[in-house]
Structure 1
């Protein structure tokens, strides 16, 4: 009889321990859900705020064209159309970036790692940029002579590299160069993108990878900045178990360093 009582007590204790564990897990899941809802609300609120102005501007200028289509000069028409194009371009870029953020945060997100000739992969990205009118022949490379193979999700890493190169071009003058250097360390492959642009103040570095964080709202060509590019870069690098760091100073350019483990 005593053995039965002992077994019952142990069983009850085991059930109580499981209930406590389930309660703690439920609380943790509830906290995560609350955080997700809060982040999603804030993201939607910021998105709406950032889209209202460019869409409103595009609509206003389209109305101006429609109302004075017979009397408007070609010079003024071209100016109005340019404003519409820039406003809609910003809106599309913002929505595209948000789409990438949402896909990276999706519960079913998976990363597709493939053994890749890394320097050849980067050369392909640089070639596309160097064909563009604005960035033509401005990007230089400094790669090791030997072949470097790295397991990466090529689609995601291409997004990250393109975002960094676009930022480097955005905040640099036309006559400056952007350089990509690849270094093979014992356990990691290090990719450094360096520009000769306007640089970043030390006070801004801590928040640089936050969503919608912008320092210079407009670049040299008056294209408005979205503030999601570096957030996307950091998330992609994190999914590769890597890290990204930045060194910068005002008027002295910036260097972004991506370090990814070899295996």
Structure 2
């Protein structure tokens, strides 16, 4: 009888432990769900905020052209069509970036970690960034190791992360200037540092720069409006690789973003 009572007591304790465990899991899931709902609400608000103005401009100028087409000279028509084109272009870029960001919100999103020669990889990434840099006559000064560096990473995803940071540096740099990219290694870590000599950031902004839609400087040096999703996407990709992004910056002197990736021990 005592044995049965003890077994029942043990069973009761186990049951209570499982109930507590399930309750904690439910609480965590509820927290995750609330975070997703809040983020979706933010995305919806930002979607309306960012598209209302350019779509409204495109509509207004289209209406002006249609109503007064007989009074338009070629120069005025070209000017108004360019305004429509620029507004439409921003809207498309915003929607594409939003779709890209939404992909990283998927819980089932899987990365493919394979071993690559990192130096070949980073040279190809820099070559792509140079296309944008050349438009502003910006020189990319690279400092890379001479020895072969091989480790496992998702080639396509890491390219997106590095390009986002390089493009960000180019965006906030003056024409006829330069940015730097340096790759260094330790026994356990690879570091990719991207430096510019542009607007720079205040230290108080470091805490928020990776938040969705966070825009410290609304417009770049070439007056292009910033969306605020490039750095959050880069951070999600780097975290998926077990790494981190750090910042050093000073107002009017520029910024350095450093991606640090583990060379070994990544759980793939």
Same fold, judged at TM 0.5 (above): yes
Quote the Cα distance in structure 2 between the aligned partners of 1:42 and 1:60.
27
Aligned to 2:257: 256
Deviation of the 1:136 alpha carbon: 5.2
Structure 1 unaligned blocks of 5 or more? none
Preserved CA contact (<8 Å) 2:137 2:176: no
Contact 1:211–1:231 under 8 Å retained in 2: yes
Q: Measured at CA, do residues 30 and 151 of structure 1 come closer, stay the same or move farther in structure 2, by a change above 3 Å?
A: same
**Is the 2:247–2:258 Cα contact (8 Å) retained in structure 1?**
yes
Of 44-53 and 14-23, the range deviating more from structure 2:
14-23
1:135 Cα offset (Å): 4.4
1:179 corresponds in structure 2 to: 180
What is the root-mean-square deviation in Å for CA atoms of aligned residues? 1.8
Counterpart check, 1:121 vs 2:121: yes
Structure 2 Cα separation of the partners of residues 178 and 73 of structure 1? 43
How far apart are 1:186 and its partner, in Å?
1.8
2:212 match: 211
TM score, norm. by length of structure 1 = 0.93
Q: Distance between the aligned counterparts of 2:159 and 2:108, measured in 1?
A: 21
- TM-score if structure 2 supplies the norm length? 0.91
SS at match of 2:191: strand
Are the equivalent residues in 1 in contact too, given 2:111–2:154 (CA < 8 A)? yes
Shift of 1:77: 2.3
Moved >6 Å (runs of 4+): none
Give unmatched runs, 5+ long, in structure 2: none
Question: Aligned pair count?
Answer: 263
Q: Which residue of 2 is the match for residue 148 of structure 1?
A: 149
Give 1:137 shift.
6.0
Q: Is the 8 A contact 1:130 1:136 kept in 2?
A: no
The equivalent residue for 1:195 is: 196
Q: How many Å separate the matches in 2 of 1:148 and 1:178?
A: 23
